[in-house]
Amino acid sequence: MHPGYKFKWFEENWTSTGEVRALSSTRIKLRRLWEGIYKKSDVLESTENPHQSPQKQRSYLESVLDGMAPLNRSRVPMPTRGKDELFLYLAEPPTDHLGLMEYWKSREAQWPHLAQMAYDFLSILAMSSKCERVFSSCAKQTTLESSRLSGKMLWHQECIKNWQRRGAIRMETFKHATVLDLI
């Protein structure tokens, strides 16, 4: 869902047979996901008129620069009966003049369903190693002898361990008791 890459980047860079096959199946899966979930979904549409953006006070330098090299502000095509939001997005040439989130915020009014799909995809973590580490750590704490620990107690232990690792607290042993020193 990155507007700077789209399928064009993969078509140019993925050349082996397996990669081309994967790209083809990915297109089909994306279309099925779009048709099955997002195209039909109820999205709260913005009440703002996308063509009436608040006028920002521009500096003298900005007005001079805009006069010399105006920004290329392309109109976002609206979906029609034959062309839905996904089709229009994929037909649009790759662009990187806006940041990723700014791009989708600017398209939200015209393509609300596709923007929702993009937000859902972009909220998925690229790596899950940190949360897997926490689960693994909790599993080490729940032995047969301590299997009756509540989830809240495990949460407290993980929190204290994290604080200690980051240097927010210091734990010391004194006469077989643990002393907690808040720094």
Nearest to 2 by CA among 94, 112, 120, 73: 94
pLDDT at 57 over 50: yes
pLDDT at 56 over 70: no
What tokens appear for 35 in the block? 């048709």
Q: Give me the amino acid identity at 46.
A: S
How confident is the model over 120-160, as pLDDT tens digits?
988 887 777 777 777 787 777 777 777 777 888 888 888 88
Report the predicted TM-score, pTM, of the whole model to 2 decimal places: 0.53
At residue 140, the pLDDT reads 76
Distance CA 168, CA 180 (A): 11
At residue 48, the pLDDT reads 47
Distance CA 123, CA 159 (A): 24
Nearest to 87 by CA among 13, 6, 5: 6
At residue 52, the pLDDT reads 45
How confident is the model over 23-53, as pLDDT tens digits?
989 999 999 999 998 887 776 554 444 444 4
What tokens appear for 79 in the block? 């979906």
How confident is the model over 65-116, as pLDDT tens digits?
666 655 555 566 677 766 889 888 988 888 877 788 889 999 998 899 999 9
**Helix or strand (DSSP H, E) at 131:** helix 129-141
Q: Is 169 helix (H, G, I), strand (E, B) or coil?
A: strand
In degrees and rounded to multiples of 5, residue 36 shows phi and psi of -80, -35
Nearest to 118 by CA among 55, 17, 28, 34: 34
Q: Which residues pair with 180 in a beta bridge?
A: 171
> What are the boundaries of each domain within the chain?
1-42+75-124, 129-182
At residue 153, the pLDDT reads 85
